[in-house]
Structure 1
Amino acid sequence: MIPVNELFLFASAALLMVLTPGPNMIYLISRSISQGRIAGVISLLGVVTGFLVHMFAAAIGLTALFLAIPLAYETLKWAGALYLLWLAWQAVRPGARSPFETKNLPIDSKSKLFTMGFLTNVLNPKVAVFYLAILPQFISSEHGSVLLQSIELGLTQIAISFTVNLVIALTAAGIASWFARNPTWLAVQRYFMGFVLATLAVRLALEQRRTA
Protein backbone atom coordinates (compact mmCIF):
# COMPACT_ATOMS: atom_id res chain seq x y z
CA MET A 1 0.00 0.00 0.00
CA ILE A 2 1.35 3.40 -0.96
CA PRO A 3 1.60 5.86 1.97
CA VAL A 4 -1.04 8.58 2.02
CA ASN A 5 1.49 11.41 1.73
CA GLU A 6 3.08 9.82 -1.35
CA LEU A 7 -0.33 9.19 -2.91
CA PHE A 8 -1.31 12.81 -2.27
CA LEU A 9 1.89 14.03 -3.91
CA PHE A 10 1.26 11.80 -6.92
CA ALA A 11 -2.33 13.05 -7.12
CA SER A 12 -0.99 16.62 -7.17
CA ALA A 13 1.37 15.73 -10.01
CA ALA A 14 -1.49 14.04 -11.90
CA LEU A 15 -3.67 17.11 -11.41
CA LEU A 16 -0.92 19.36 -12.71
CA MET A 17 -0.46 17.19 -15.77
CA VAL A 18 -4.15 17.10 -16.68
CA LEU A 19 -4.33 20.88 -16.34
CA THR A 20 -1.40 21.26 -18.74
CA PRO A 21 -2.71 21.73 -22.31
CA GLY A 22 -2.19 18.72 -24.52
CA PRO A 23 -3.91 16.70 -27.29
CA ASN A 24 -6.63 15.36 -24.97
CA MET A 25 -7.62 18.75 -23.62
CA ILE A 26 -7.54 20.42 -27.02
CA TYR A 27 -9.65 17.69 -28.61
CA LEU A 28 -12.24 17.66 -25.81
CA ILE A 29 -12.58 21.44 -25.81
CA SER A 30 -12.87 21.59 -29.59
CA ARG A 31 -15.44 18.81 -29.68
CA SER A 32 -17.51 20.27 -26.84
CA ILE A 33 -17.58 23.74 -28.38
CA SER A 34 -18.32 22.46 -31.90
CA GLN A 35 -20.84 19.69 -31.17
CA GLY A 36 -22.06 20.23 -27.62
CA ARG A 37 -21.58 18.80 -24.13
CA ILE A 38 -22.86 15.29 -24.89
CA ALA A 39 -20.33 14.93 -27.69
CA GLY A 40 -17.61 16.10 -25.30
CA VAL A 41 -18.61 13.52 -22.68
CA ILE A 42 -18.69 10.67 -25.23
CA SER A 43 -15.24 11.71 -26.43
CA LEU A 44 -14.08 11.73 -22.81
CA LEU A 45 -15.20 8.11 -22.34
CA GLY A 46 -12.95 7.20 -25.25
CA VAL A 47 -10.10 9.10 -23.61
CA VAL A 48 -10.60 7.22 -20.33
CA THR A 49 -10.49 3.88 -22.18
CA GLY A 50 -7.18 4.98 -23.66
CA PHE A 51 -5.89 5.68 -20.14
CA LEU A 52 -6.60 2.05 -19.20
CA VAL A 53 -4.39 0.90 -22.08
CA HIS A 54 -1.56 3.14 -20.90
CA MET A 55 -2.02 2.04 -17.29
CA PHE A 56 -1.86 -1.72 -17.86
CA ALA A 57 0.96 -1.44 -20.39
CA ALA A 58 3.02 0.64 -17.95
CA ALA A 59 2.14 -1.56 -14.97
CA ILE A 60 3.34 -4.73 -16.69
CA GLY A 61 6.46 -3.01 -17.95
CA LEU A 62 7.25 -1.39 -14.62
CA THR A 63 7.17 -4.76 -12.85
CA ALA A 64 10.00 -6.06 -15.04
CA LEU A 65 11.79 -2.71 -14.88
CA PHE A 66 12.04 -2.60 -11.10
CA LEU A 67 13.03 -6.26 -10.82
CA ALA A 68 15.74 -6.27 -13.45
CA ILE A 69 17.07 -2.94 -14.74
CA PRO A 70 17.85 -0.17 -12.21
CA LEU A 71 19.65 1.79 -14.92
CA ALA A 72 16.42 1.97 -16.93
CA TYR A 73 14.78 3.58 -13.90
CA GLU A 74 17.37 6.35 -13.93
CA THR A 75 16.90 6.81 -17.68
CA LEU A 76 13.15 7.17 -17.25
CA LYS A 77 13.64 9.59 -14.37
CA TRP A 78 15.76 11.94 -16.46
CA ALA A 79 13.44 11.56 -19.43
CA GLY A 80 10.54 12.60 -17.21
CA ALA A 81 12.43 15.61 -15.85
CA LEU A 82 13.40 16.76 -19.34
CA TYR A 83 9.85 16.30 -20.57
CA LEU A 84 8.48 18.42 -17.72
CA LEU A 85 11.00 21.14 -18.56
CA TRP A 86 9.83 20.98 -22.18
CA LEU A 87 6.20 21.37 -21.04
CA ALA A 88 7.26 24.33 -18.88
CA TRP A 89 8.87 25.97 -21.91
CA GLN A 90 5.78 25.31 -24.03
CA ALA A 91 3.71 27.14 -21.40
CA VAL A 92 5.84 30.30 -21.30
CA ARG A 93 7.45 30.48 -24.75
CA PRO A 94 6.67 33.50 -26.93
CA GLY A 95 3.62 32.91 -29.07
CA ALA A 96 2.21 30.09 -26.91
CA ARG A 97 -1.53 29.65 -27.56
CA SER A 98 -4.40 28.72 -25.29
CA PRO A 99 -6.17 25.38 -25.87
CA PHE A 100 -9.38 27.40 -25.87
CA GLU A 101 -8.37 28.93 -29.21
CA THR A 102 -9.94 25.98 -30.99
CA LYS A 103 -10.95 25.19 -34.53
CA ASN A 104 -14.39 24.08 -35.63
CA LEU A 105 -14.82 20.35 -36.16
CA PRO A 106 -17.38 18.48 -38.31
CA ILE A 107 -20.32 16.71 -36.67
CA ASP A 108 -19.40 13.07 -35.94
CA SER A 109 -21.35 9.99 -34.85
CA LYS A 110 -21.20 8.72 -31.25
CA SER A 111 -19.05 5.76 -32.25
CA LYS A 112 -16.58 8.01 -34.07
CA LEU A 113 -16.50 10.43 -31.12
CA PHE A 114 -15.58 7.56 -28.79
CA THR A 115 -13.00 6.14 -31.20
CA MET A 116 -11.34 9.50 -31.81
CA GLY A 117 -11.16 10.18 -28.07
CA PHE A 118 -9.58 6.75 -27.56
CA LEU A 119 -7.02 7.21 -30.34
CA THR A 120 -6.19 10.76 -29.27
CA ASN A 121 -5.23 9.45 -25.84
CA VAL A 122 -3.53 6.19 -26.84
CA LEU A 123 -1.31 8.12 -29.26
CA ASN A 124 -0.74 11.01 -26.82
CA PRO A 125 3.00 11.23 -25.96
CA LYS A 126 2.22 13.36 -22.89
CA VAL A 127 0.31 10.47 -21.28
CA ALA A 128 2.88 7.86 -22.32
CA VAL A 129 5.75 9.84 -20.79
CA PHE A 130 3.76 10.43 -17.59
CA TYR A 131 3.22 6.70 -17.10
CA LEU A 132 6.72 5.63 -18.14
CA ALA A 133 8.86 8.36 -16.59
CA ILE A 134 6.91 10.05 -13.79
CA LEU A 135 4.80 7.27 -12.27
CA PRO A 136 7.91 5.22 -11.30
CA GLN A 137 9.04 8.00 -8.95
CA PHE A 138 6.18 7.12 -6.61
CA ILE A 139 6.75 3.36 -6.46
CA SER A 140 8.96 1.57 -3.94
CA SER A 141 9.48 -2.17 -3.53
CA GLU A 142 9.14 -1.76 0.24
CA HIS A 143 5.47 -0.87 -0.22
CA GLY A 144 4.55 -4.23 -1.71
CA SER A 145 3.77 -5.45 -5.22
CA VAL A 146 5.06 -3.11 -7.91
CA LEU A 147 2.22 -4.23 -10.17
CA LEU A 148 -0.45 -3.39 -7.61
CA GLN A 149 1.18 -0.05 -6.82
CA SER A 150 1.24 0.78 -10.53
CA ILE A 151 -2.46 -0.02 -10.86
CA GLU A 152 -3.32 1.98 -7.72
CA LEU A 153 -1.47 5.02 -9.02
CA GLY A 154 -2.92 4.55 -12.49
CA LEU A 155 -6.49 4.43 -11.21
CA THR A 156 -5.79 7.54 -9.12
CA GLN A 157 -4.55 9.39 -12.20
CA ILE A 158 -7.52 8.23 -14.27
CA ALA A 159 -10.02 9.37 -11.62
CA ILE A 160 -8.40 12.82 -11.44
CA SER A 161 -8.17 13.17 -15.20
CA PHE A 162 -11.78 12.08 -15.71
CA THR A 163 -13.08 14.55 -13.13
CA VAL A 164 -11.11 17.51 -14.49
CA ASN A 165 -11.84 16.71 -18.14
CA LEU A 166 -15.54 16.20 -17.40
CA VAL A 167 -15.71 19.70 -15.94
CA ILE A 168 -13.84 21.02 -18.99
CA ALA A 169 -16.15 19.22 -21.42
CA LEU A 170 -19.25 20.58 -19.68
CA THR A 171 -18.01 24.16 -19.36
CA ALA A 172 -15.70 24.57 -22.40
CA ALA A 173 -17.81 27.20 -24.16
CA GLY A 174 -18.16 29.32 -21.04
CA ILE A 175 -14.47 29.06 -20.14
CA ALA A 176 -13.42 30.00 -23.67
CA SER A 177 -15.69 33.03 -23.56
CA TRP A 178 -14.34 34.10 -20.15
CA PHE A 179 -10.70 33.87 -21.27
CA ALA A 180 -11.55 35.85 -24.40
CA ARG A 181 -12.75 38.67 -22.13
CA ASN A 182 -9.84 38.32 -19.66
CA PRO A 183 -6.62 37.63 -21.60
CA THR A 184 -4.42 38.79 -18.70
CA TRP A 185 -5.50 35.85 -16.55
CA LEU A 186 -4.61 33.49 -19.38
CA ALA A 187 -1.04 34.82 -19.35
CA VAL A 188 -0.86 34.50 -15.54
CA GLN A 189 -2.03 30.88 -15.76
CA ARG A 190 0.61 30.07 -18.39
CA TYR A 191 3.51 31.44 -16.36
CA PHE A 192 2.31 29.88 -13.11
CA MET A 193 1.99 26.51 -14.86
CA GLY A 194 5.47 26.86 -16.31
CA PHE A 195 6.95 27.60 -12.87
CA VAL A 196 5.26 24.61 -11.23
CA LEU A 197 6.28 22.25 -14.04
CA ALA A 198 9.90 23.38 -13.82
CA THR A 199 9.86 22.88 -10.04
CA LEU A 200 8.47 19.35 -10.43
CA ALA A 201 11.16 18.60 -13.04
CA VAL A 202 13.89 19.58 -10.57
CA ARG A 203 12.31 17.40 -7.89
CA LEU A 204 12.26 14.38 -10.19
CA ALA A 205 15.86 14.95 -11.28
CA LEU A 206 17.02 14.98 -7.65
CA GLU A 207 14.90 12.00 -6.59
CA GLN A 208 16.90 8.94 -5.52
CA ARG A 209 15.76 5.45 -6.48
CA ARG A 210 13.97 3.90 -3.51
CA THR A 211 14.52 0.23 -2.79
CA ALA A 212 13.65 -2.16 -0.02
Structure 2
Amino acid sequence: MNPSVWLALLGAGTLISFTPGAGAVNTMSNALTVGFRRAIWGIAGQQAALLIHILVVAAGLGLLVASSPVAFSIIRYAGSAYLIYLGVRKFLAAPEPEEAASARSLEGPLSMFRRGLWVNLLNPKAVVFFLAFIPQFIEPQKPLLGQYGVLAGTVVAIDVLVMWFFYAAAARSFQRYTRSHRGQKALNRVFGSLFVTVGVLLAFA
Protein backbone atom coordinates (compact mmCIF):
# COMPACT_ATOMS: atom_id res chain seq x y z
CA MET A 1 0.00 0.00 0.00
CA ASN A 2 1.58 3.24 -1.12
CA PRO A 3 1.82 6.19 1.33
CA SER A 4 -0.88 8.31 -0.31
CA VAL A 5 -3.42 5.48 -0.18
CA TRP A 6 -2.47 4.73 3.42
CA LEU A 7 -2.91 8.38 4.44
CA ALA A 8 -6.36 8.35 2.83
CA LEU A 9 -7.15 5.18 4.78
CA LEU A 10 -5.89 6.81 7.97
CA GLY A 11 -8.15 9.84 7.49
CA ALA A 12 -11.22 7.81 6.56
CA GLY A 13 -10.67 5.35 9.40
CA THR A 14 -10.35 8.16 11.92
CA LEU A 15 -13.59 9.80 10.81
CA ILE A 16 -15.40 6.46 10.95
CA SER A 17 -14.13 5.65 14.46
CA PHE A 18 -15.22 9.03 15.80
CA THR A 19 -18.76 8.46 14.49
CA PRO A 20 -20.84 7.49 17.57
CA GLY A 21 -22.32 4.02 17.53
CA ALA A 22 -22.93 0.93 19.63
CA GLY A 23 -19.19 0.44 20.16
CA ALA A 24 -18.78 3.93 21.58
CA VAL A 25 -21.76 3.46 23.91
CA ASN A 26 -20.44 0.10 25.08
CA THR A 27 -16.96 1.54 25.68
CA MET A 28 -18.23 4.45 27.77
CA SER A 29 -20.54 2.18 29.74
CA ASN A 30 -17.65 -0.20 30.49
CA ALA A 31 -15.36 2.64 31.51
CA LEU A 32 -17.93 3.88 34.01
CA THR A 33 -18.53 0.39 35.39
CA VAL A 34 -15.04 -1.08 35.59
CA GLY A 35 -12.76 1.90 35.05
CA PHE A 36 -10.68 3.34 32.22
CA ARG A 37 -7.90 0.73 32.16
CA ARG A 38 -10.07 -2.38 32.28
CA ALA A 39 -12.39 -1.00 29.59
CA ILE A 40 -9.73 -2.17 27.12
CA TRP A 41 -11.12 -5.72 27.33
CA GLY A 42 -14.43 -4.62 25.84
CA ILE A 43 -12.57 -2.63 23.20
CA ALA A 44 -10.52 -5.74 22.36
CA GLY A 45 -13.74 -7.68 21.76
CA GLN A 46 -14.98 -4.95 19.44
CA GLN A 47 -11.72 -5.11 17.46
CA ALA A 48 -12.02 -8.87 17.14
CA ALA A 49 -15.42 -8.31 15.55
CA LEU A 50 -13.93 -5.74 13.14
CA LEU A 51 -11.29 -8.26 12.08
CA ILE A 52 -13.98 -10.89 11.49
CA HIS A 53 -15.93 -8.41 9.34
CA ILE A 54 -12.82 -7.67 7.29
CA LEU A 55 -12.10 -11.40 6.87
CA VAL A 56 -15.69 -12.00 5.78
CA VAL A 57 -15.43 -9.28 3.14
CA ALA A 58 -11.97 -10.44 2.00
CA ALA A 59 -13.26 -14.01 1.62
CA GLY A 60 -16.16 -12.83 -0.51
CA LEU A 61 -18.79 -13.93 2.00
CA GLY A 62 -19.77 -10.33 2.67
CA LEU A 63 -21.23 -10.08 -0.81
CA LEU A 64 -23.42 -13.10 -0.08
CA VAL A 65 -24.70 -11.50 3.14
CA ALA A 66 -25.29 -8.16 1.43
CA SER A 67 -27.13 -9.79 -1.47
CA SER A 68 -29.27 -12.10 0.67
CA PRO A 69 -32.22 -10.23 2.24
CA VAL A 70 -32.97 -13.17 4.54
CA ALA A 71 -29.43 -13.51 5.91
CA PHE A 72 -29.07 -9.76 6.22
CA SER A 73 -32.37 -9.43 8.09
CA ILE A 74 -31.63 -12.30 10.46
CA ILE A 75 -28.29 -10.81 11.50
CA ARG A 76 -29.69 -7.29 11.62
CA TYR A 77 -32.63 -8.13 13.87
CA ALA A 78 -30.49 -10.35 16.09
CA GLY A 79 -28.05 -7.47 16.56
CA SER A 80 -30.87 -5.01 17.17
CA ALA A 81 -32.50 -7.31 19.74
CA TYR A 82 -29.19 -7.77 21.56
CA LEU A 83 -28.57 -4.02 21.80
CA ILE A 84 -32.13 -3.37 22.98
CA TYR A 85 -31.75 -6.14 25.57
CA LEU A 86 -28.55 -4.52 26.87
CA GLY A 87 -30.29 -1.15 26.92
CA VAL A 88 -33.37 -2.31 28.80
CA ARG A 89 -31.22 -4.15 31.34
CA LYS A 90 -29.07 -1.07 31.83
CA PHE A 91 -32.10 1.26 32.02
CA LEU A 92 -33.83 -0.85 34.68
CA ALA A 93 -30.68 -1.52 36.72
CA ALA A 94 -31.15 -0.36 40.31
CA PRO A 95 -28.57 1.95 41.90
CA GLU A 96 -26.03 -0.01 43.91
CA PRO A 97 -24.40 0.74 47.26
CA GLU A 98 -20.70 1.47 47.08
CA GLU A 99 -19.74 -2.05 48.21
CA ALA A 100 -21.86 -3.70 45.52
CA ALA A 101 -20.60 -1.31 42.86
CA SER A 102 -17.03 -2.22 43.81
CA ALA A 103 -17.82 -5.91 43.48
CA ARG A 104 -19.42 -5.37 40.12
CA SER A 105 -16.31 -3.57 38.91
CA LEU A 106 -14.57 -6.94 39.15
CA GLU A 107 -16.37 -8.18 36.02
CA GLY A 108 -14.02 -10.54 34.25
CA PRO A 109 -12.12 -9.64 31.07
CA LEU A 110 -13.74 -12.51 29.16
CA SER A 111 -17.24 -11.20 29.91
CA MET A 112 -16.36 -7.72 28.67
CA PHE A 113 -14.55 -9.13 25.63
CA ARG A 114 -17.54 -11.30 24.73
CA ARG A 115 -20.00 -8.41 25.04
CA GLY A 116 -17.80 -6.14 22.91
CA LEU A 117 -17.50 -8.89 20.31
CA TRP A 118 -21.26 -9.38 19.98
CA VAL A 119 -22.01 -5.64 19.99
CA ASN A 120 -19.91 -5.15 16.85
CA LEU A 121 -20.32 -8.56 15.27
CA LEU A 122 -24.14 -8.51 15.12
CA ASN A 123 -24.14 -5.55 12.77
CA PRO A 124 -24.58 -6.65 9.15
CA LYS A 125 -24.36 -3.03 8.02
CA ALA A 126 -20.72 -3.15 9.03
CA VAL A 127 -20.19 -5.89 6.43
CA VAL A 128 -21.99 -3.82 3.79
CA PHE A 129 -19.95 -0.78 4.81
CA PHE A 130 -16.66 -2.65 4.54
CA LEU A 131 -17.74 -3.98 1.14
CA ALA A 132 -17.93 -0.37 -0.03
CA PHE A 133 -14.98 0.85 2.04
CA ILE A 134 -12.26 -1.76 1.53
CA PRO A 135 -12.08 -1.78 -2.31
CA GLN A 136 -11.16 1.91 -2.26
CA PHE A 137 -7.83 1.04 -0.64
CA ILE A 138 -7.00 -2.32 -2.24
CA GLU A 139 -5.10 -2.62 -5.54
CA PRO A 140 -6.15 -5.97 -7.10
CA GLN A 141 -3.05 -6.21 -9.29
CA LYS A 142 -0.78 -6.31 -6.22
CA PRO A 143 -0.45 -9.05 -3.55
CA LEU A 144 -3.62 -8.92 -1.46
CA LEU A 145 -2.46 -10.45 1.81
CA GLY A 146 -0.09 -7.62 2.70
CA GLN A 147 -2.65 -4.97 1.71
CA TYR A 148 -5.37 -6.52 3.84
CA GLY A 149 -2.90 -6.84 6.71
CA VAL A 150 -2.03 -3.13 6.54
CA LEU A 151 -5.69 -2.17 6.20
CA ALA A 152 -6.81 -4.32 9.14
CA GLY A 153 -3.92 -3.18 11.33
CA THR A 154 -4.61 0.47 10.56
CA VAL A 155 -8.36 0.26 11.13
CA VAL A 156 -7.95 -1.63 14.42
CA ALA A 157 -5.19 0.67 15.71
CA ILE A 158 -7.26 3.77 14.98
CA ASP A 159 -10.37 2.32 16.60
CA VAL A 160 -8.50 1.23 19.74
CA LEU A 161 -7.01 4.71 20.17
CA VAL A 162 -10.34 6.48 19.60
CA MET A 163 -12.36 4.11 21.79
CA TRP A 164 -9.88 4.09 24.67
CA PHE A 165 -8.43 7.56 24.68
CA PHE A 166 -11.54 9.44 23.56
CA TYR A 167 -14.72 7.59 24.53
CA ALA A 168 -13.41 5.71 27.58
CA ALA A 169 -11.49 8.80 28.71
CA ALA A 170 -14.60 10.96 28.22
CA ALA A 171 -16.50 8.67 30.60
CA ARG A 172 -14.17 9.79 33.39
CA SER A 173 -15.99 13.11 33.55
CA PHE A 174 -19.17 11.24 34.53
CA GLN A 175 -17.60 9.09 37.24
CA ARG A 176 -18.50 11.53 40.02
CA TYR A 177 -22.16 10.73 39.34
CA THR A 178 -21.59 7.06 40.14
CA ARG A 179 -20.99 7.91 43.78
CA SER A 180 -24.66 8.66 44.46
CA HIS A 181 -27.83 6.63 43.90
CA ARG A 182 -29.39 9.47 41.95
CA GLY A 183 -26.34 9.78 39.70
CA GLN A 184 -26.19 6.03 39.07
CA LYS A 185 -29.86 5.97 38.17
CA ALA A 186 -29.46 8.87 35.75
CA LEU A 187 -26.44 7.30 34.04
CA ASN A 188 -28.15 3.90 33.80
CA ARG A 189 -31.09 5.52 32.07
CA VAL A 190 -28.91 7.58 29.74
CA PHE A 191 -26.78 4.66 28.60
CA GLY A 192 -29.75 2.29 28.56
CA SER A 193 -31.60 4.71 26.28
CA LEU A 194 -28.55 5.04 24.04
CA PHE A 195 -28.28 1.26 23.61
CA VAL A 196 -31.98 1.03 22.79
CA THR A 197 -31.75 3.94 20.34
CA VAL A 198 -28.84 2.38 18.49
CA GLY A 199 -30.66 -0.96 18.43
CA VAL A 200 -33.79 0.60 16.95
CA LEU A 201 -31.75 2.49 14.36
CA LEU A 202 -29.99 -0.73 13.38
CA ALA A 203 -33.34 -2.42 12.83
CA PHE A 204 -35.14 0.33 10.93
CA ALA A 205 -32.65 2.87 9.55
TM-score of the superposition, structure 2-length normalised? Answer: 0.60
Q: How does 1:97-136 map to 2 (within 5 A)?
A: 97=96, 101-103=101-103, 117=109, 119=110, 121=112, 124-134=113-123, 136=125
- The answer as to 2:19 corresponding to 1:11 is yes
Q: Give the aligned partner of residue 75 of structure 2.
A: 76
- C-alpha contact (below 8 Å) 1:87/1:197 kept by paired residues: yes
- The answer as to 2:131 corresponding to 1:141 is yes
- The answer as to 2:56 corresponding to 1:61 is yes
Distance in structure 1 (CA, Å) of the matches to 2:154 and 2:92: 35
- C-alpha contact (below 8 Å) 2:28/2:170 kept by paired residues: no
Change (3 A) 1:136 1:96: farther
Change (3 A) 1:140 1:202: same
Q: 1:188 aligns with which of 156, 169, 186?
A: 186
Aligned residues: 176
What amino acid does structure 2 have at the position aligned with 1:192?
V
* Distance apart, 1:69 and its partner CA: 2.9
- C-alpha contact (below 8 Å) 1:84/1:201 kept by paired residues: yes
Distance in structure 1 (CA, Å) of the matches to 2:97 and 2:124: 27
- C-alpha contact (below 8 Å) 2:80/2:200 kept by paired residues: yes
Distance in structure 2 (CA, Å) of the matches to 1:77 and 1:44: 26
How high is the sequence identity, in percent, across the aligned residues?
Answer: 10
- C-alpha contact (below 8 Å) 1:135/1:153 kept by paired residues: no
What amino acid does structure 1 have at the position aligned with 2:28?
L
How much is the aligned-residue C-alpha RMSD, in angstroms?
4.4
TM-score of the superposition, structure 1-length normalised? Answer: 0.58
Distance in structure 2 (CA, Å) of the matches to 1:167 and 1:94: 22
Structure 1 portions without partners, runs of 5+: 30-39, 107-115, 208-212
Structure 2 portions without partners, runs of 5+: 1-7, 137-147
